[in-house]
Amino acid sequence: MLSFLLFLLNFPHINASLYHPLVVWHGLGDSYSSPGMLNFSSMIRDIYPGIFIHSVFIEQAQDKDKRAGFFGNVDHQVGLVAEQLAAIPELKGGFDAIGFSQGGQFLRGYAERYNHPPIRNLITFGSQHMGISDIPLCHPRDLLCQASRRIIKSAVYGHWAQSNLVQAQYFRDPTNFEAYLATNNFLVSINNEVAFSRNRTYAQNLASLNKLVLVLFSRDTTVVPKESAWFGSERSGKGHVLGTDTNPQGVLVEEKSKIIPMRLQPLYLGDWIGLRELDERNGVIFEVCEGEHMQLSGCWRDLVNQFVGK
């Protein structure tokens, strides 16, 4: 037996069959083949020698893939990724997945809308599951980010922005909720927020996950509010949870509470996306990484050990 195990360790292509494959979707301002993403994959292979890892891309050219994180139609991009994953033989039996920042809610969108091949465990780091209510500042030298930010701030709920600016497609303004519901295509859809168009398949697919691991960064100032990573959102100015079922104003909450937690969200209470079902069988895991947005330090390693590969 010992000689057989040593044999396996010396042949990574055989080792790969011992682990569930992994799919990774990078965040805003990054690309699938950046040094950081390549290094992350390398560190995972140190833990699981020979594991198959696929890094999602929209464009194969690195600069164009980075640009696609700012400019493009997210519905179209998620559809492209579904075709991409379905064409990879190593993934046909299912896979674990890690989404960094916006890549996390995009992978959730894939799980809800397609999920063929299926995701087993999904880990999202600092992802904007309930959208963002402000556009964070950009680095002074990041001209691509600055251009995107200016356009979003000027016309976030215009038709062009909602079809072409990635961040606008998950901008959820609690002070202008009606415009969000009327114009947004991506986040409104994957959160099943409009009653007459609610898709039950989304709930069935998300509830089919083994684990959904939601990672929040303790000092995150990039994702506003940072609790969006845990399906939290800002209340309206009148102190309401915003929802669209029997009461258009939503559920009244205490004025001192600025953030509505996941289990008080209408999408959770009504189980619009299968989140409540998943949570009630202990399938939703809340984790914290200490630090700023995407400051992974060592917090990723324990999560990879628990929820990837095995």
Question: Collapsing DSSP states into helix, strand and coil, what is residue 202?
Answer: helix
Comparing C-alpha atoms, which of 58, 50, 53 is closest to residue 23? 53
60-65 long-range contacts, CB within 8 A, separation 24+: 62/31, 62/32, 62/33, 62/34, 63/31, 65/31, 65/32, 65/33
Q: Which two tokens stand for residue 85?
A: 């994953």
Q: What is the DSSP string of 140-200?
A: TT-HHHHHHHHHHHHHTTSHHHHHHBTGGGGB--TTSHHHHHHH--HHHHHTT--GGG--H
Active site (annotated) includes residue 293: yes
- Residue of 31, 55, 101, 133 marked active site: 101
Find all residues with CB under 8 Å of 177, minimum gap 6, and list them.
236, 242
- Residue of 30, 173, 220, 279 marked active site: 220
Find all residues with CB under 8 Å of 31, minimum gap 6, and list them.
37, 57, 62, 63, 65, 66, 69
Measured in Å, how far apart are the chain's first and last C-alpha atoms?
20
Comparing C-alpha atoms, which of 231, 220, 159 is closest to residue 192? 231
Find all residues with CB under 8 Å of 156, minimum gap 6, and list them.
165, 168, 171, 173
Active site (annotated) includes residue 101: yes
* Separation of alpha carbons 119 and 17, rounded Å: 17
Q: How many residues does the chain have?
A: 310
Find all residues with CB under 8 Å of 55, minimum gap 6, and list them.
23, 24, 25, 26, 32, 33, 37, 41
User: Among all residues, which ones are annotated catalytic?
Assistant: 101, 220, 293
